[in-house]
A and B are shown apart, each in its own frame.
Chain A
């Protein structure tokens, strides 16, 4: 990336709130191209935006036309969306296609967004999980297979093609204005389910801080896998109280009971396969990322929860 040449970056998942925050931070210094599987979004006249399935051949045309320097891959279909098969195709095979094309067209920097869900919520989890910890997410549910597979794939490319400079980031719960994932939907709701007697420790990162983290990561070509989480923690039920949510108690024993109730209710924000994340803690250690990239989150938990409390009843 020399001074005369503005870096040209492909940003995936452009319809999501996080990608739009990242684009806002980069648009002054970089030429951006935005893509999304789901919809075409208008991001201003200076940013070409496409709705493309990565597995279609036209996707390669983008690489031919724009000659990217880097890729920021934020386009993951969340586990609460679409069917398992379509998610696998999009997240795993789509990512493979993206990485293959990145290799073919000599891209120098790739940032891949993963999730802390890959660690899996298990009763025996220690707190402050390091990046080297085994990924037990798949053991819990087949619905998390695509998340873990996406990581494995990115990891293979990370070692096989060092010149791609792949950095995989595993954030904790991303929340804040515009975020549509399951935890954000829960915090924004009037009433949120809790498993009776379980209030695991959780970590939350504000979307603005997360966007800052992604930009920091992109700007320093340091390969590897990094957790991203602030050094602040709160119990799930305490977080709900601070967000002004009423708690809806779901019996927790025997374990088949909550599973049965949740699959009957079929809530998008509290799917039965994420049940364990509301039972056992998955507290990750984000210190390596903070140290390596000089990252310091700026939005405290209280501010995050105030936003949810004050926006219960949208006008």
Chain B
């Protein structure tokens, strides 16, 4: 037994490893897919996330079984908390569900690929550059894709604006219609409290080439996270004007808003 496989057996529970191998991914002969997802890296990623998910954020997910077992699907959620922790937790919840687990792909900010080490690491665990072409090709491959239509507007917002939904982009709706992918709304509660930011230093962000530079404690607080998954929403692919598309986006946004309210009312305490 090589050193690598001994370390792996200690870090990755056999059960999780089998669970991942059971999920059929369209990968090549060396375990990679075109976006850099790697079947071995994801095992380490999920083993680590398991600890974070269960012990640190003590995530409570309800309705995860509503995400379809196969075929293209767009998982649409509110974005919050400076770091993409919300995407990670939704991804784990779906990968770890008992019946029909799936490894979803998360669309990430355009600056990540330029960051050494981190960019590749994110790709290996399934995150993908947030480009419409990428999303389209993945839906065509029948993948489950996590999208935060608020983008940096959502993740970079300040603590005083918590749980207020920012403007949603329309891109995801066009893709959902084109690829006949159901939209599953998700309300995330708790991530706003993980890294509460009181201000955003815009000139610093510009100088560093990052989307925002929050003034916050340099720790991730162990807030309890609630994930509420709504029923899949289906939209037809008729040619409709952009304002009608915006209406459909608003429907999804309203649904997410309801799910957030549900999460907030369920929440007993912040931590």
Contacts and interface: CB of A to CB of B under 8 A. Distances in A.
Given A199-B120, A252-B116, 7 more contacts: A127-B36, A130-B133, A197-B118, A198-B116, A201-B34, A234-B28, A281-B36
Contacts of A283: 34-35
Interface in A86-138: 123-128, 130
B107 to A, nearest CB: 11
A201 B32 contact: yes
Contacts of B30: 232-234, 238, 242, 301-302
A235 B137 CA distance: 20
Nearest to A203: B34
B28 A128 contact: no
B245 to A, nearest CB: 22
Interface in A211-244: 231-235, 238, 242
A301 B134 contact: no
A301 B29 contact: yes
Interface in A16-71: none
Contact of A201 (B35, B116, B137): B35
A126 B38 CA distance: 17
Contact of B129 (A124, A128, A235, A285): A124
Interface in B110-145: 110, 113-120, 123, 128-129, 131, 133-134, 137
Given A124-B113, A128-B137, A197-B120, A234 B131 contact: no
Contacts, number: 77
A76 B129 CA distance: 33
A285 B110 CA distance: 21
Nearest to B121: A197
A197 B134 CA distance: 22
Nearest to B135: A126
B114 A123 contact: yes
**Chain A contact patch, size range:** 20 to 34
A232 B116 contact: no
A189 B129 CA distance: 32
A301 to B, nearest CB: 6
A235 B134 CA distance: 18
Contact of B34 (A128, A197, A198): A128
Contact of B29 (A196, A235, A302): A302
A280 interface: yes
A232 B35 contact: no
A280 B28 contact: no
B255 interface: no
A280 B111 CA distance: 12
A233 B117 CA distance: 19
B33 interface: yes
Nearest to B141: A128
Nearest to B111: A123
A234 B32 contact: yes
Nearest to A303: B29
B39 to A, nearest CB: 12
B233 to A, nearest CB: 26
Interface in A175-222: 195-201
Nearest to A234: B30
A198 B102 CA distance: 28
Output the residue of A233, A242, A301, A302 with the most chain B CB within 10 A.
A233
B139 to A, nearest CB: 12
Given A126-B134, A126-B137, A201-B34, A232 B28 contact: yes
B80 to A, nearest CB: 25
B34 A196 contact: no
Nearest to B118: A197
Nearest to B35: A127
A197 B114 CA distance: 10
A280 B116 CA distance: 11
A199 B124 CA distance: 11
A253 interface: yes
B34 A300 contact: no
Contacts of B32: 201, 232-235, 238
6 contacts: A127-B35, A127-B36, A232-B30, A232-B32, A233-B34, A283-B35
Contacts of A130: 133
A285 B136 CA distance: 13
A197 B35 contact: no
